[in-house]
Structures are given as C-alpha cells and as structure tokens.
C-alpha cells in the first residue's frame, strides 16, 4: 500500500484551498456575507438578492471561465494557474472590464449605496491589481482575501455590530489563502502580502471615501 507523503498532502490541501477560495468566487462570498450577517442589508427582498447574485455570478464567474477556456485552447495561457506575470495580463484586463460592466449594472439597481459601493470597490481592486501586474507579479488570491477582510471589518464598524464569528472566519480564510499560495510557491511573501494590502486598503479606503 502506497504511503502518501506529508508534503504531497499539504500541496493537495493548498490546491483545494486555492480552488475553493478562488478570486472569482470571493466577491460572491462577500455578497453572501453582506446578506447573512445581522445588518439592515440582510432584510433586502429575496428577488433583489437573487438578481444581485446572478449578475455577479454570470458576469464575473461564468463569463471569465469561458474566456479562460478560450485562452487556454488558443495557448495564450499555458496553465490554469497562470504562474507567469505575462500570462495574467489579458485575463486580468478582461476581468476588470467585466467588473466595470457589473458595477454599471448594479448602479442602476434599486439597492442601498453600501452594496453599490461594494461592487464599485471590487472593480477598483481588480483595476489596481491589473495595473500593478503590468510591472510586478502580485497575488490575486491574496488581494481577494484582503478585500473580503476589509468588507467584514467595514460591516462591523458601519453597523455598530461586532460580527465576531464571520470576522474570525474571514481572517482564518485569508490566512489559509496566503499560506496556500506560499506553500505552492506561486508567490513570494512580498507578492502575497502586497496583494493582501492592495485588496484591503483599496476596498477599505473606497468605503471610507464613499
């Protein structure tokens, strides 16, 4: 019976974590967080929640996945991980465009300004990562986790209600994501921490300003 080496198990775990908390999925998790914590936003009507979720799912998960499949087939990207900075240029550019379209659609929705700010803030995070990637490789996973952490903190402060459990879960998830990217050697510590700070600061400051 073949024994599974500890290092192989850790790598598999890191890949699973990277897949479950993929950057394309994090905005959806953020929206679920907004709707699930005990704030005024959790009382939005179900049709509105479904509409917001579907817009984000189609524009920022389904369409980007189709694009990635196309780019992979055309050998524009060599792997799903897109380990090199050059491979990320086109996917990041289109991801930013998709978020811009989503933001424009959501602005027209009859939703609270907080939710509109969240969607526009995600666009600015994506745009910031895209710009930085032109010169230096940055962890997209870490940027997504930083943005999610900022959202949890902002929800807590804005609503004057400490959401202890969700905040702890988000922080643990962020730690797991950064650890997974470092374990798989897809990023250096500097790339991971810069990504986290970009996501955290850009979304956090956008909420602060707006």
Q: What confidence tens digit (pLDDT) does each residue in 58-98 have?
A: 999 999 999 988 888 888 877 767 767 778 888 899 999 99
Q: How far apart are CA 205 and CA 210, in angstroms?
A: 8
What's the pLDDT at 7? 60
SS (H, E, C) 81-141: CCCCHHHHHHHHHHHHHHHHHHHHHHHCCCCCHHHHHHHHHHHHHHHHHHHHHCCCCCCHH
Q: Residue 75: left (phi > 0), alpha (psi -120 to 50), or beta?
A: left
Angle (CA) 56 81 178, round 5°: 80
Cβ neighbourhood burial of 8 (10 Å; 0-12, 13-18, 19+): exposed
pLDDT at 4: 47
Q: Are 197 and 145 in contact (CB under 8 A)?
A: no
| DSSP string covering 170-182 | HHHHHHHHHHHHH
pLDDT value for 146: 95
- The per-residue pLDDT for 170 is 92
Residue ranges of the chain with pLDDT lower than 70? Answer: 1-7, 80, 83, 159-162, 210
pLDDT at 159: 65
Residue 39's pLDDT is: 74
**Residue 73 confidence (pLDDT):** 85
Count the alpha carbons within 13 Å of 153 in the hemisphere toward its beta carbon. Answer: 15
Per-residue CA distances from 177 to 8, 95, 123, 146, 174 (Å): 18, 20, 21, 10, 5
What is the reported pLDDT for 160? Answer: 59
- CA quadruple 31, 36, 42, 45: dihedral sign: positive
Whole-number pLDDT of residue 1: 43
What are φ and ψ of residue 58, in 5° steps? Answer: -70, -50
Contacts of 121 (CB under 8 A, 6+ apart): 147, 202, 203, 206, 207, 210
Q: What is the pLDDT of residue 157?
A: 79
């Amino acid at each position: 019976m073949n024994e599974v080496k500890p290092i192989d198990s850790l790598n598999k775990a890191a890949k699973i974590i990277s897949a479950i908390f993929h950057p394309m999925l994090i905005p959806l998790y953020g929206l679920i967080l907004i709707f699930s914590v005990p704030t005024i936003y959790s009382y939005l009507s179900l049709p509105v929640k479904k509409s917001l979720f579907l817009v984000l799912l189609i524009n920022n998960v389904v369409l980007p996945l189709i694009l990635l499949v196309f780019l992979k087939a055309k050998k524009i990207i060599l792997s799903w991980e897109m380990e090199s900075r050059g491979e990320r240029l086109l996917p990041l550019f289109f991801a930013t465009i998709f978020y811009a379209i989503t933001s424009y659609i959501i602005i027209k929705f009859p939703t609270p300004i907080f939710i509109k700010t969240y969607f526009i803030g995600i666009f600015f995070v994506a745009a910031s990562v895209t710009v930085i990637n032109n010169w230096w490789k940055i962890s997209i996973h870490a940027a997504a986790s930083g943005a999610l952490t900022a959202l949890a903190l902002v929800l807590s402060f804005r609503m004057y209600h400490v959401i202890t459990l969700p905040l702890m879960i988000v922080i643990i998830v962020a730690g797991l994501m950064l650890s997974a990217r470092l374990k798989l050697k897809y990023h250096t510590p500097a790339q991971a921490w810069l990504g986290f700070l970009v996501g955290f600061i850009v979304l956090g400051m956008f909420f602060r300003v707006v």
